[in-house]
């Protein structure tokens, strides 16, 4: 296996690979993963572990892929709860009555990019193919959250808004919260046009030199979504050593990850899954 990370733990179960955050594992409070494209049954450009419904893959294949990843992580697939991602900043509380929505029941959530719960056996799911997955766990209050943070979600600071939900709804102390910034497009590959640079400059003026790399000559600028989200979380009150930042770029590793940018949209999806035991 040549998929390695100094930040996340890589798990290999036969030909199925997934990743976890060591800080979350050490608590013993959650089951979680970020999937790869290895270990499923999908074919073509969905091969082989595609966890995205509605992209043209056979539903029976996607369901079997979920059965496989849930089995190795120790989660019952019927407990999964899906969001309805639109690159926004809406965060929804879910509980036991929402289990199965998106896999064995219709998705009822609309325009939701973040999920939060304090209930056990409610498995939160968000989907990815380059955008940034944000994982949250308050081991003191026993609250978890997942947020889908592409560049639009990042400039809307969905990570900060998740922390505010922890504090406002569950009286969390931000210094107790653990966060994980998962595999996604890295600063090496996230080229953007001047309008995106301007949006980041207006939103994060103090950080622009840290998160935007301006090229020499006529090349496009590169934005570091990992560092931007890390700074957002730290400014929201999280301790620096409670934030784990990925070192895996999904665009760079097509043999392990679906990438929207690399494939031009012909791709499957990875899933972030997080459940309180």
Q: Which of 239, 214, 243 minimizes the C-alpha distance to 227?
A: 243
Residue 170 banded pLDDT, cuts 50, 70, 90: very high
Q: Which of 166, 163, 130 minimizes the C-alpha distance to 148?
A: 130
225-235 and 158-170 helices, crossing angle to 10°: 30
Q: What is the mean pLDDT of the chain?
A: 97
CA distances from 272 to 122, 206, 239 (A): 14, 31, 23
User: Using CB atoms within 10 A of its CB, is residue 169 exposed (0-12), middle (13-18) or buried (19+)?
Assistant: middle
* DSSP category for residue 111: S
Collect all residues with Cβ–Cβ distance below 8 Å to 18 and sequence separation of at least 6: 10, 11, 33, 34, 35, 36, 69, 72, 73
Residue range 179-202: mean pLDDT, rounded: 97
Whether pTM exceeds 0.85: yes
Instruction: Report how far residue 73's alpha carbon sits from residue 49's, in angstroms, rounded to the nearest whole number.
Output: 15
Collect all residues with Cβ–Cβ distance below 8 Å to 225 and sequence separation of at least 6: 132, 149, 150, 151, 154, 184, 185, 187, 190
User: Which domains occur in the chain, in start order?
Assistant: 9-184+242-276 (3.60.140.10)
Residue range 248-276: mean pLDDT, rounded: 97
pLDDT value of residue 1: 65
Is a pLDDT exceeding 90 seen at residue 53?
yes
Instruction: Report how far residue 51's alpha carbon sits from residue 170's, in angstroms, rounded to the nearest whole number.
Output: 31
Could you please report the per-residue DSSP string of 164-183?
HHHHHHH---GGG-EEEE-S
In this predicted model, what pLDDT tens digit does every residue of 2-25 receive, in sequence order? 999 999 999 999 999 999 999 999
Is a pLDDT exceeding 90 seen at residue 217?
no
Instruction: Report how far residue 207's alpha carbon sits from residue 200's, in angstroms, rounded to the nearest whole number.
Output: 9
In this predicted model, what pLDDT tens digit does every residue of 107-154 receive, in sequence order? 878 899 999 999 999 999 999 999 999 999 999 999 999 999 999 999
Is a pLDDT exceeding 90 seen at residue 216?
no
């Amino acid at each position: 296996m040549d998929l390695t990370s100094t930040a996340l733990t890589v798990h290999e179960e036969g030909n199925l690979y997934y990743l976890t955050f060591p800080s979350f594992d050490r608590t013993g409070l959650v089951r979680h993963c970020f999937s790869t494209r290895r270990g499923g049954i999908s074919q073509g450009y969905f091969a082989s572990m595609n966890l995205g419904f509605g992209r043209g893959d056979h539903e029976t294949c996607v369901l079997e892929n979920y059965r496989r990843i849930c089995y190795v992580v120790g989660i019952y697939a019927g407990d999964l709860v899906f969001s309805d991602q639109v690159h926004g900043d809406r965060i929804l509380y879910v509980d036991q009555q929402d289990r199965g929505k998106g896999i064995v029941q219709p998705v009822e959530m609309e325009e939701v990019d973040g999920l939060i719960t304090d209930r056990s056996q409610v498995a939160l799911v968000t989907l990815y193919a380059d955008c940034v997955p944000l994982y949250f766990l308050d081991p003191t209050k026993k609250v978890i959250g997942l947020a889908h943070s592409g560049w639009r979600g990042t400039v809307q600071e969905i990570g900060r808004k998740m922390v505010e939900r922890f504090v406002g709804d569950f009286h969390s102390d931000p210094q107790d919260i653990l966060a994980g910034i998962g595999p996604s497009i890295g600063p090496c590959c996230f080229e953007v046009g001047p309008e995106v640079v301007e949006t980041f400059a207006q939103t994060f003026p103090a950080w622009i030199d840290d998160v935007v790399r301006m090229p020499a000559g006529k090349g496009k600028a590169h934005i570091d979504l990992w560092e931007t989200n890390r700074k957002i979380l730290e400014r929201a009150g999280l301790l620096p050593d409670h934030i784990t930042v990925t070192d895996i770029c999904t665009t760079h590793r097509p043999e392990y990850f679906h990438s929207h940018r690399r494939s031009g949209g012909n791709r499957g999806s990875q899933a972030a899954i997080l459940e309180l035991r």
